[in-house]
Amino acid sequence: MRLALLPVLLLALALALSATARAQPAAGPVLMVFGDSLSAEYGLPQGSGWVALMERRLKSEYPGWRVVNASISGETTLGGRNRIDAELARHRPQAVVIALGGNDGLRGVSLESTRANLEYMVAASRKVNARPLLVGVRLPPNYGRTFSEKFRLVFVEAARNTKTPLVPFILERFAEKRDFFQPDGIHPTVAAQPLMLDTLWPEIGNVLKAR
């Protein structure tokens, strides 16, 4: 009798597990940040960078969204171009913040290459139905006014060519305030991180609401 009941019990258990699995909430949409040291908490305590602050703000204003920080300190647009397809496949984001280019400018990478790499990353994101947002940076004054202006326009042109929203300058709110930078004069302090998020937030909201 007990052996005869075994198949029935196994079937009941399988149905119960199936119902439980269906009851589990689906994983929420993913916002992937794809940047360099400005997004990777360089020189900061863990959890104090603008990406971590954004994740906490999303929980209250856009519940359900998850944040993946795929940023690497020292990353260039070429490095980003070489790895973005794998990161997109791994995380399957619905939105991507592309915050690369600063290291290109500091290293004197060709402006045409930087722009082409940014446009490639935008196209790669759209290919998997992820909505991109470009984030620009500016060079320090000692790089010269002419080159700095051409570098600034790289982001403007990449955004225009790909019809992608752009935050022109992630450090806009404190670029002239030395106290908001670490001793290297390049990387923002903990106190600067909320200002960076506030600069990005309106466009991030627009990207998330475009679902």
Q: Which pLDDT does position 4 carry in this prediction?
A: 53
Cβ count near 167 (within 10 Å): 22
DSSP per-residue string spanning the chain: -HHHHHHHHHHHHHHHHHHHHHHSPPPPPEEEEEESTTTTTTTS-TT-SHHHHHHHHHHHHSTT-EEEE---TT--HHHHHHHHHHHHHHH--SEEEEE--HHHHHHT--HHHHHHHHHHHHHHHHHTTPEEEEE-----GGG-HHHHHHHHHHHHHHHHHHT--EES-TTTTTTT-GGGB-TTSSSB-GGGHHHHHHHHHHHHHHHHHT-
- Provide the pLDDT confidence category of residue 21 given band limits of 50, 70 and 90: very low
The model's pLDDT over 166-208, given as tens digits with 9 standing for 90+, comes to 999 999 999 999 999 999 999 999 999 999 999 999 999 999 9
Which pLDDT band holds residue 5 (cuts at 50, 70, 90)? Answer: low
Residue 211, pLDDT score: 62
Q: Which of 12-21, 25-34, 85-94, 117-126 has the lowest mean pLDDT?
A: 12-21
Show which residues are catalytic: 37, 184, 187
Query: Is residue 25 very low, low, confident or very high in pLDDT (cuts 50, 70, 90)?
Result: very low
Tokens standing for residue 131: 């909505």
Cβ(98)–Cβ(80) under 8 Å? yes
For each of the domains in the chain, give its residue range(s) and CATH number, in order of start.
27-209 (3.40.50.1110)
> For position 210, what pLDDT does the model report?
80
What is the per-residue pLDDT for 27?
A: 77
Residue 82 has pLDDT above 80, yes or no: yes
Q: Is 153 exposed, middle or buried (0-12, 13-18, 19+ CB in 10 A)?
A: middle
> What's the average model confidence in pLDDT over 70-78?
98
More confident residue, 14 or 123: 123
- pLDDT for the residue numbered 141: 84
- Mean residue pLDDT of the chain comes to 90
Q: Higher confidence at residue 7 or residue 91?
A: 91
